[in-house]
Amino acid sequence: MSDAPVWAKSPDRLHRRGATSLETPLDALDGYLTPADAFFVCNVAASQRVDPATYRLELQGDALATPCSLTLDDLAALPRHTVRSYIECAGNQRTLFGTVQGQHAERDEEGGEDVPWVLGGIGMAEWSGPRLRDVLALGGLRETARWVAPLGLDFDNPECPIEIPMPVEKALHDDTILALTMNGQPLPIDHGFPVRAIVPGWIGTYSVKWVGQITASAREIRNYRTDEYYVIDGMTVTRQNVKSSLALPFPATMGPGHKRIHGYARSPDQPIRSVEWSANGGKTWHEADIISPNETYGWVRFAFAWKAEPGEHRLMTRATDEAGETQPEVCTFNPGTLLFNAIIPHPVTVV
Ligand SMILES: Nc1nc2c(c(=O)[nH]1)N[C@H]1C(S)=C(S)[C@@H](COP(=O)(O)O)O[C@H]1N2
Ligand SMILES: [Mo]
């Protein structure tokens, strides 16, 4: 690795997780979109520094009739599409398998590092840039195309090329874009400057940062992440699942009195129908208020009033999306500790 600092932004507002990742303290957020300086970072190595002047996006592969090399101006000249989407690491909340369910990962040193996320391996932003399908059209995408794999320029990593193949249907989806901006500003270095993929609803790893090459092929493109790492029961994980979590430290401590408790709930591809909360172990549930936009691909911010009385409490929340998908009481364990989405009994001590 070079001598450049691991992150371009200050890590001070975030929790360090492993050598190269940063977790958002959800309790420090007060709105719908996550500001870039508070947005979590899930990096396999140091953030890549890319020179925009010499940057090229190489389009290649047997499913392109006219492979080509594009500049940033070429990308910026295409019609822009804006998507408000959260990105959540597949391993977000993985430590809760241990702290809530008493289950511990069986794989440690082998393969990639399991980032020890608590609640904040997630962020919500407005992304804008050309649709991936319009970019692929410049390379003359053939009917034979089955797989499309963006490649990250952060080659100086211990794992492998970060080249994440997705089926062509997802690559051609209306809302799959190559983002040039985040929350109306050029992409920050830590979030993929100058170009990143945004693959809404799918686990964060598909949203490849610092994209320098895209391969389109009739043949399956293999990668460690999709073959081995992000796998449950032999199946590659793609879609996220329905979750809710409180915007409180885990565990939380607070003084007594009337409180307004906040949190975030999300479904990968549906608006949220309801968020319920319980302070008595799930015997009775009450409706929380949704106090933000409620959009496909977005999370929602919710709030409820709770009278904090001295003692030990467990506050639970349960989200249900418009399709009726809801959170389980227990999340089935998987050795990769991925996709933890059980109802969380959030420990709160009132002193
Ligand atoms: N090139 C590259 N892209 C990457 C990664 C990476 O390490 N290198 N990490 C992925 C993972 S695992 C996640 S969860 C998201 C996180 O996006 P963020 O760092 O902008 O929050 O980026 C993805 N894209
Ligand atoms: Mo991740």
Does residue 7 line the site of ligand 1, with CB under 6 A?
A: no
DSSP at 331: P
Does residue 189 line the site of ligand 1, with CB under 6 A?
A: no
250 φ, ψ to 5°? -120, 105
On whether the CB atoms of residues 247 and 29 are closer than 8 A, the answer is yes
How remote is the CA of residue 44 from the centroid of ligand 1, in Å? 8
Convert the pLDDT of each residue in 201-232 to its tens digit: 999 999 999 999 999 999 999 999 999 999 99
On whether the CB atoms of residues 61 and 215 are closer than 8 A, the answer is yes
129 pLDDT more than 80: yes
Token pair in block for residue 223: 């990668």
Map residue 71 onto helix, strand or coil: coil
Does residue 154 line the site of ligand 1, with CB under 6 A?
A: yes
- The pLDDT score that the predictor gives to residue 232 is 97
Determine the Cα–Cα distance for residues 174 and 296; give it in Å rounded to an integer. 13
Does residue 205 line the site of ligand 1, with CB under 6 A?
A: yes
112 pLDDT more than 60: no
* Contacts for 144 with CB less than 8 Å, ≥ 6 apart: 62, 63, 218
Mean pLDDT of 290-317: 98
Q: Of the bound ligands, which one is closest to the alpha carbon of residue 91?
A: 2
- The pLDDT score that the predictor gives to residue 107 is 61
Confidence of residue 4 (pLDDT cuts 50, 70, 90): confident
Confidence of residue 2 (pLDDT cuts 50, 70, 90): low
Q: Where are the domains of the chain?
A: 15-236, 243-350
Does residue 209 line the site of ligand 1, with CB under 6 A?
A: yes
pTM, full prediction = 0.97
Does residue 195 line the site of ligand 1, with CB under 6 A?
A: no
Convert the pLDDT of each residue in 62-83 to its tens digit: 999 999 999 999 999 999 999 9
Q: Fold for 243-350, please state it.
A: Immunoglobulin-like (2.60.40)
111: Cα separation from own chain's centroid: 21
How remote is the CA of residue 281 from the centroid of ligand 1, in Å? 36
On whether the CB atoms of residues 157 and 117 are closer than 8 A, the answer is no
Map residue 104 onto helix, strand or coil: coil
Domain spanning 15-236, CATH class: alpha beta
1 pLDDT more than 60: no
Least confident piece of the model among 92-106, 251-265, 303-317: 92-106
Which is nearest to 271 in space by CA: 296, 239, 300, 288?
296
Does residue 122 line the site of ligand 1, with CB under 6 A?
A: no
Does residue 202 line the site of ligand 1, with CB under 6 A?
A: no
Closest-CA residue, ligand 1 atom 24, reads: 208
How remote is the CA of residue 190 from the centroid of ligand 1, in Å? 9
Ligand 1 nearest atom to the CA of residue 192, by list position:
20
How remote is the CA of residue 224 from the centroid of ligand 1, in Å? 15
